[in-house]
Amino acid sequence: MNDDKNTEEKILNAARQVFIEKGFDGTRMQEIADTAGMNKALLHYYFRSKEKLFMKIFEITFKQFVPKMSGIFSSDTSFMDKIQLFISSYIDLLDKNPYIPLFIIRELSRNPNVIKELIFDKFEIIYNAIDLNVKAEIQAGRIRDIDTKHLILNTVSMCIFPFVGKPLLKHLFKTNDDEYRTILIERKNVVFEVIKKWISI
């Protein structure tokens, strides 16, 4: 019997919440059931096993995060604008979902095979789109001769790591949650400035 949402959706929501916070190893099926407000057996009725339920969650979460960046680089604004837009919207996305990067990294590190069962063919499209842009800009003499890989590494590192490293960095800076969040939002400008200065002629 359903309240407003159907049972499957309630399970997925609860599972996402618990898995993202505690990781696969730290998650108990009972806790998911409690969070969803139902009997533990229902989880198995709908998803057979913890592993299967987890994979569903991981897949959904992963697909939610990766492709968000792909679209930007096919629009027709200037390269610099694309970069600025990417940084700004990605930090916004992280601000709304601060625990997802660590979740993905943690679980990918626990079991690197999961990525093979996922859409990592999309990766090629994304990388090629960016690489094409970069090469064209270099050719046209609008930016310095940089390596696309390092451009990506630098940009995503500076965007993501402050979220992932928060528990440590918060202490280093002696900030509370609000102050730290302010810094994170400031980074929309800072990261773009850093990248711009680096690639500009």
Q: What is the residue whose two structure tokens read 């990506």?
A: 152
Residue from 13, 22, 50, 55 touching DNA (CB under 7 A): that is 50
Query: Does 49 participate in binding DNA (rule CB under 7 A)?
Result: yes
Contact pattern from residue 4 through residue 23 relative to DNA, giving x for each residue in contact according to CB under 7 A and a dash for the rest: ---x----------------
Query: Which residues from 138-157 bind a copy of itself, rule CB under 8 A?
Result: 147, 149-150, 152-154, 156-157
* Contact set for a copy of itself, span 77-106 (CB under 8 A): 99, 102, 104-106
- Cα 83 from Cα 8, distance rounded (Å): 39
Token pair in block for residue 104: 């993905």
Q: Which of 157, 127, 112, 114 is CA-nearest to residue 66?
A: 127
Q: How far apart are CA 196 and CA 125, in angstroms?
A: 24
Q: What value does the CA radius of gyration of the chain take, rounded to a whole number of Å? A: 20
63 touches a copy of itself (CB under 8 A): no
CA angle at residue 115 from 110 to 121, to 5 degrees?
165
Q: Is the dihedral of CA 119, 68, 124, 19 positive or negative?
A: negative
Give the binding site for DNA (CB under 7 A).
1-2, 7, 27-30, 38-42, 44-45, 48-51
Give the binding site for a copy of itself (CB under 8 A).
22-23, 25-26, 99, 102, 104-106, 108-110, 112, 115, 120, 123-124, 126-127, 147, 149-150, 152-154, 156-158, 160-162, 164-165, 167-169, 171-174, 183, 186-187, 190-191, 193-195, 197-198
